[in-house]
């Protein structure tokens, strides 16, 4: 059952204005519009909750995360039903994403139980040291305080209400205020119901989590500029993320903004690999490019290859693999419109050749494939901007030196991929120092669509892929975004945090 209201510190709160959801199919529902007043109430409650939750034990927080996962699974059928209606995503995708969401929560529960993330250090006192004695020094990572999280349009579960940012913040000991995404408000409310139930089961302060639905830009601005918010997690567009980032920096007391803003995720195809298995790579690329209507931030939109007969064969194979792919429903009308605008921008660029065109309208997306020379690509930086959807661009370079020039010209990326065989080792070695400076994750002979939630994963990269190149929004390392090191000097045992005693 949907209330259409905000969850603020344990209460379902209505607003004066409402907005209607815009489902891909099925019934629309009305939801309250969030306001700065709702934000203030939620953040104030989060600060109150931090006084206890920020000092709770790791075991208490781990049990809370596991309870949230259990409550989400108990609502699995309901979440799938509303999620598919709102987003147009197939049931299998929603069920898989729900499993990833609960998996993340349980992963963080296990992670904080181990305690390694605390990075505990102890330099014992040296009272006899000359010329000066050394005091007793202990260091540990401590939670920063209330965290704001913005739900993502393309992941209604794994990157939204109880997604990776929320899981990492709660694991760290930080209360969370989520600004729900208007593309899937019903899904967000049901997940919030699950979190609310877990709060009651575990006896946690209700201010530890709030969900503010919808709202104008003013609402989002009120959230990131609220003086009690200590950090922000965001997954979304470059324009929206940069606007919020600028607000965080302009605050009287600036705070970190951890924005994941997308990328084109280029692939570099080495000559021997293309000669040996170019058609196989092309087929795999087509599958990765069109998965989920291309609505993944790790969608590999660009393939860089040395011009010649092998490049022609690769282009033909990719075209053949993409031709049978039918129309897919996109997440929102706005995303579909932006996809068509991106298509038009690429198609109208100088030197761009159309390899596969199709017709898509309304909320549908069909694949497009284009080809351009490396020379033309290097003179048109707009071709390196993300087109969110199943659009591919083959960049044919004159030689490996021009391929290196393409790599050096890249902006920050989430991923970069090299397709190579053993005979391509020298070229691979030449590319690696360049690509390491461009992306957070480097792949060999694979496709980046899909991100594993685990200890070693990095989902981030230099700007504009993300706003903080030293962080990741996926994997256990993401907890560090919501922690800060504190050193205790000559502190009595009974005043130390429990984990330092």
Residue 177 has what pLDDT?
98
Burial 129-160 (b: 16+ CB within 10 A, else e): eeeeeeeeebbbbbbbbbbbbbbbbbbbbbbb
CA 374 vs CA 200, 274, 426, 488: distances in Å: 59, 18, 21, 56
Residue 366 has what pLDDT?
95
CA distance 118 to 106: 18
Backbone angles phi, psi at 298, to 5 degrees: -105, 20
For residues 9 and 206, the answer to whether their CB atoms sit within 8 Å is yes
Residue 262 has what pLDDT?
83
297 is catalytic: yes
Residue 313 has what pLDDT?
98
Residue 361 has what pLDDT?
81
CA distance 58 to 142: 12
| Alpha helices in 213-357, H assignment, sequence order | 217-225, 238-250, 271-290, 309-322, 333-347
Residue 215 has what pLDDT?
77
The DSSP H or E segment spanning 393 is strand 391-397
| Regions in the chain scoring below 50 on pLDDT | none
CA distance 209 to 226: 16
Please give the structure tokens belonging to residue 83.
């999620």
Please give the structure tokens belonging to residue 218.
């003013």
91 is catalytic: no
The catalytic residue among 47, 260, 386, 402 is 260
Residue 214 has what pLDDT?
86
320-359 pLDDT per residue, tens: 999 999 999 999 999 999 999 999 999 999 999 999 998 8
The catalytic residue among 48, 97, 248, 297 is 297
């Amino acid at each position: 059952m949907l209330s259409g209201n905000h969850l603020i510190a344990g209460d379902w709160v209505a607003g004066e204005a409402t907005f209607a959801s815009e489902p891909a199919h099925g019934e629309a529902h009305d939801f309250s519009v969030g306001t700065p007043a709702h934000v203030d109430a939620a953040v104030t409650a989060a600060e109150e909750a931090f006084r206890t939750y920020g000092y709770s034990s790791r075991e208490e927080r781990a049990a809370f995360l596991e309870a949230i996962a259990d409550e989400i699974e108990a609502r699995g059928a309901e979440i799938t039903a509303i999620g598919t209606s709102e987003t147009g995503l197939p049931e299998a995708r929603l069920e898989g994403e729900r499993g990833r969401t609960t998996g993340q929560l349980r992963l963080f529960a296990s992670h904080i139980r181990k305690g390694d993330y605390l990075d505990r250090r102890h330099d014992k006192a040296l009272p006899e040291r000359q010329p000066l004695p050394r005091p007793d020094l202990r260091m540990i990572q401590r939670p920063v305080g209330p965290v704001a999280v913005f739900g993502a349009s393309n992941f209604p579960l794994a990157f939204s209400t109880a997604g990776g940012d929320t899981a990492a913040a709660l694991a760290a000991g930080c209360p969370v205020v989520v600004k729900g995404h208007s593309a899937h408000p019903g899904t967000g409310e049901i997940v919030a119901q699950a979190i609310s139930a877990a709060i009651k089961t575990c006896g946690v302060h209700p201010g530890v989590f709030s969900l503010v639905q919808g709202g104008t830009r003013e609402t989002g601005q009120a959230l990131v500029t609220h003086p009690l918010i200590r950090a922000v997690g965001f997954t979304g567009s470059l324009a929206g993320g940069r606007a919020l980032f600028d607000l965080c920096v302009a605050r009287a007391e600036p705070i970190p903004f951890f924005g994941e803003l997308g990328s084109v995720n280029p692939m570099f195809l080495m000559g021997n690999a293309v000669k040996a298995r170019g058609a196989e790579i092309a087929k795999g690329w087509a599958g990765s490019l069109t998965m989920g209507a291309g609505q993944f931030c790790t969608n590999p939109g660009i393939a860089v290859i040395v011009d010649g007969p092998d490049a022609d064969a690769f282009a033909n194979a990719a075209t053949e693999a993409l031709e049978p792919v039918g129309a897919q429903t996109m997440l929102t009308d706005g995303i579909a419109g932006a996809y068509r605008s991106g298509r038009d921008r690429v198609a109208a660029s100088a030197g761009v050749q159309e390899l596969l065109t199709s017709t898509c309208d309304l909320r549908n997306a069909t694949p497009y494939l284009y080809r351009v020379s490396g020379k033309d690509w290097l003179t048109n930086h707009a071709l390196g901007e993300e087109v969110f959807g199943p659009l591919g661009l083959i960049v044919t370079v004159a030689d490996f030196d021009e391929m290196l020039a393409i790599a050096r010209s890249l902006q920050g990326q989430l991923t970069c991929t090299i397709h190579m065989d053993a005979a391509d080792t020298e070229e691979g070695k030449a590319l690696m120092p360049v690509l390491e400076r461009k992306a957070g994750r480097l792949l060999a002979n694979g496709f980046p669509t899909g991100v594993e939630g685990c200890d070693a994963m990095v989902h981030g990269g230099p700007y504009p892929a993300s706003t903080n190149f030293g962080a990741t929004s996926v994997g256990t390392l993401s907890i560090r975004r919501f922690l800060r090191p504190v050193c205790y000097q000559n502190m009595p045992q009974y005043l130390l945090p429990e984990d330092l005693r």
